[in-house]
Amino acid sequence: MTGLSDQFHQGTVYSRVRPLAGSRPERQADPFKEYPGSKKVKLETPAFPAGSLWGSLNNRRSRRELKTEPISRDQLSLLLWACQGVTEKISGFQLRTAPSAGALYPIETYLVINRVEGIDPGIYHWNIREQSLELLTPGDCSLKIETSALNQDMCRNGAAVFAFSALFSRSTFKYSDRALRYIYMDAGHICQNLYLACEDLGLGCCGIGAFFDDEVDALLGLDSKTEAAVYLAAVGKY
């Protein structure tokens, strides 16, 4: 590796001989993000369908040819739960479907909803604690997310685009610069859960790393410094 990737990787190695340099923020971001004044859509977790993990692992593919058909509200709810649903509460930690370094859960989930039965199109934030979607921007944003993601049309055609952001200080507060590695690992775990859940429900999913960071951040209302989008995934029927 050369240049920035080498700098980043070498600058965040753990070594017995060289302690990790790097800074930590003065304050750690709250473990749960909420938009108190927003209009909310409450989503209960529906009964789990009976599927086979092995079949989903075997059949999973990145599916880009998504149909412009809606998915159901229950399907969306299951997908959100698969990403980061809280499954156990132990000594102050709310453990989730996906693992997270230090159980710090730096990844937030936003949704650009294009077509989901019973939910108006718009940009939403997933409030994990309340299990509700918080409306941030009403209206059809499918074209905006498509252009922000280098014109990948699955973002416009799909029923929804999941946008995973990192609230950096949740992790850098404890792990300093090394946190960046963990944050990307966390995002990967979450998106793999989404892939497998989609496969199980017969829906298509494609992870998206190619996007203009500033445009996606602006769309989600993120400042790119304390919080920034790190990974997207388009989801829908295929």
User: Which of 222, 178, 142 has its CA nearest to residue 12?
Assistant: 178
Give least dist CB 89 to ligand FMN, A.
Answer: 31
Nearer to ligand FMN, 63 or 115 (CB): 63
Q: Restricting to residues 97-156, which ones interact with ligand FMN according to CB under 6 A?
A: 152
Residue nearest to ligand FMN (CB): 209
Contact characters 54-73, ligand FMN, x per CB under 6 A: -------xx-x---------
Using rule CB under 6 A, residue 209 touches ligand FMN: yes
Nearer to ligand FMN, 113 or 190 (CB): 190
Give the Å distances, CA to CA, from 32 to 47, 140, 152, 211. Answer: 25, 27, 31, 26
* Contact assessment for residue 66 and residue 238, using Cβ atoms and an 8 Å cutoff: yes
Question: Percentage helix, strand, coil, to 5, in the chain?
Answer: 35, 25, 40
Helices 179-201 + 73-84 axis angle, to 10: 150
Give least dist CB 57 to ligand FMN, A.
Answer: 11
Q: Which of 25, 31, 102, 207 touches ligand FMN by CB under 6 A?
A: 207
Give least dist CB 218 to ligand FMN, A.
Answer: 19
Give least dist CB 30 to ligand FMN, A.
Answer: 27
Q: Cα torsion at 189, 133, 77, 54 (round to 10°)?
A: -10
Residue type, 19: P
Using rule CB under 6 A, residue 210 touches ligand FMN: yes
Give least dist CB 207 to ligand FMN, A.
Answer: 4
Give the Å distances, CA to CA, from 103 to 85, 86, 179, 186, 223. Answer: 13, 12, 12, 10, 24
Residues forming contacts to ligand FMN in the complex (CB under 6 A) are 61-62, 64, 152, 206-210
